[in-house]
Amino acid sequence: MATQDHKPDMMKFTPTFHNDTYPYISPTQHNLSGLSVLITGASRGIGAAIAHSYAAAGASHIAIAARKPPTDIATDLAATAKAASKDPPQVLSLAIDVTSQSSIDASVKEVSAAFGRLDILINNAGYLENFIPVAESNPDEWWKTMDINLRGPYLLSRAYLPLLLGAEGGRKTILNTSSVGALIKRPGASAYQTSKFALLRLTEFLEAEYGEQGLLCFAFHPGGVMTELAKVMPAYTHHMLQDKPELAGDTIAWLTAEKREWLQGRYLSVNWDMEEFLAEKDRIVEEDLLRMKLAV
């Protein structure tokens, strides 16, 4: 079976490639007081790291969405904020099923009642099936991956758009956790990589349909992190999972510290050096880079 591995031009859009956080993107340099953010899949791993980065950046309201949110998350985020000399955030724990419309609709009411607004939605909850060729796959398992990775962001974006767009002076931002897997093909990962590919296209549709109303939507690769989810990947891929979750957390908090409209509908990797990435802004916009296209 042919395997398409990471291409240098795909992974190294910037000369510098990071595996861990670094001073330029430190969240402690920002003061995001007043900001409200909701992160799905935030009970551990990358989602939890993103929540801690927002706490260190001073976000006032952080909603933690997961099937089973950790009971001590508010205490942990308060400690992170204190260490960064920031006020502790108001933390809302949401027990939700990202594939359930009724569960998500109920969460919107909770967030609206608790925060009164929402600035940023981060669709981070994900699922990864065992690597199995299509003819040998379990249809229920295959579709579970699609449900969580694609239907979930669709349902969440659909439900939270009114709250996001109605926030006066708000960020009006949706971030979708995609993957470099969307851009490669690895036999056995048909559900996961297809779902992440489709998520990039959904990101572009959100831009097309709501960009004129002020919505900013972009997708990102969170790095190769050895999360519980990633442990089901074949052993021969584990050497690529060397990144720290804090890299994703700090990069995302840094990117959303201001509204960067030029990222609209695009894909980026947290491994890229953000100072070098910003230096490419004009070229990215002029050549319309980092979007899904067919090369002919």
Among the listed residues 192, 210, 231, 259, the single catalytic one is: 192
Give bridge partners of residue 267 from the DSSP assignment.
219
DSSP letter at 235 equals G
Starting at the earlier edge strand, list the strands of the sheet with 120-123: 90-95, 61-66, 36-40, 120-123, 173-177, 216-221, 267-269
Alpha carbon distance 232, 214 (integer Å)? 39
Among the listed residues 54, 160, 172, 196, the single catalytic one is: 196
Is-catalytic flag, 196? Answer: yes
Neighbours of 166 (CB within 10 A): 13
**What spatial distance separates the first Cα and last Cα of the chain, rounded to whole Å?**
25
DSSP letter at 97 equals -
Backbone angles phi, psi at 115, to 5 degrees: -105, -30
Positions annotated as catalytic residues are 192, 196
